[in-house]
Amino acid sequence: MVETQEDAFLNGKLVLAQPKSGYRAGMDALLLAAALEAEPGQLLMEAGCGAGAALLAAATRMGHAQFLGIENDPHMAALARSNIARNALDARVSVVDGDCLAPLALGAAQEKQVFDGVFCNPPFDDANSAPAPSPAREKAYRTHAPIEAWIKALANRLRGGAALTLIHRAHRLPELLRALEGRLGGIEAFPVRARAGEAAKRVLIRARKGSRQPLRLYAGLDLHDHNGTKHSAQAQALWQGAALDWR
């Protein structure tokens, strides 16, 4: 059994059990969830949903859409299912055990299924990077597949016109753009800065299948003021469940 603790999100509208000693989701998951879009009845998939922070934050914000999470760690998948039930989201959210990069991640019966949107918060480091802070955080921090493999696999899960949305380290933007080239278009890049006046440490990326629109780079978001003592108005809105303003 994984020892857990409860964390509240979206001003208490969402309560999640997360590993006490392993990786626990925070602002990155909320940013990713806030960056998504969906029409009524559409089905979105999260690759590597962990305990379900981004998956359930998105489902809480967008009560008109359906969600599926894929998770290759059976303990985390079970925890995500428990969190779905805890927040009474069983009717619209489910989790499948599997490797999101594998062709049969959804099972043979669903092999050809495509989605109205795919999103992920992939491990930021590769196999050659420094070890994770603790063994319990290894899978969340490091991946043996390059980001190109993630984008290639997830692009194949999109219907025409649907978007892949992900969050990553800002300095990896050139690598992300190279991986997207020839696969998805209409790329939008949204920098996220810890405080006003600093360089961005995170970037949200959204790209669409079949789009030929040029790259758009937005002004982005400051999470705190210059002193780092107060959340910006935009960040406060995200904590309350608002959608990200892509501009």
Delineate the domains of the chain, giving CATH numbers in brackets.
4-129+141-238 (3.40.50.150)
The whole-number pLDDT of residue 125 equals: 75
104: alpha, beta or left? (left if phi > 0; alpha if psi -120 to 50): alpha
Residue-wise DSSP of the chain: ---EEEEEEGGGTEEEEEESSS----HHHHHHHHT----TT-EEEEES-TTSHHHHHHHHH-TTSEEEEEES-HHHHHHHHHHHHHTT-TTTEEEEES-TTSTTTT-GGGTT--EEEEEE---SEETTSPPPSSGGGHHHHEESS-HHHHHHHHHTTEEEEEEEEEEEEGGGHHHHHHHHTTT-EEEEEEEEESSTTSPPSEEEEEEETT--PPPEE---EESB-TTSSSB-HHHHHHHTTPPP---
Read off the tokens for 95: 């989790």
Sole residue written with tokens 């559409």: 42
The whole-number pLDDT of residue 1 equals: 61
The whole-number pLDDT of residue 20 equals: 87
Residues in the chain: 247
The whole-number pLDDT of residue 136 equals: 45
Each residue's pLDDT tens digit in the chain (247 positions)?
Answer: 678 999 999 999 999 999 988 788 889 999 999 999 999 999 999 999 999 999 999 999 999 999 999 999 999 999 999 999 999 999 999 999 999 888 644 554 455 589 999 999 999 876 554 544 544 444 544 467 899 999 999 999 999 999 999 999 999 999 999 999 999 999 999 999 999 999 999 999 999 999 999 999 999 999 998 877 788 999 999 999 999 999 8
Phi, psi of 85, deg, nearest 5: -65, -40
The whole-number pLDDT of residue 226 equals: 82
The whole-number pLDDT of residue 25 equals: 86
The whole-number pLDDT of residue 107 equals: 52
> Within its chain, how far is the Cα of 243 from the centroid?
14
- DSSP state for residue 215 in the 8-state scheme: P
Phi, psi of 117, deg, nearest 5: 175, 145
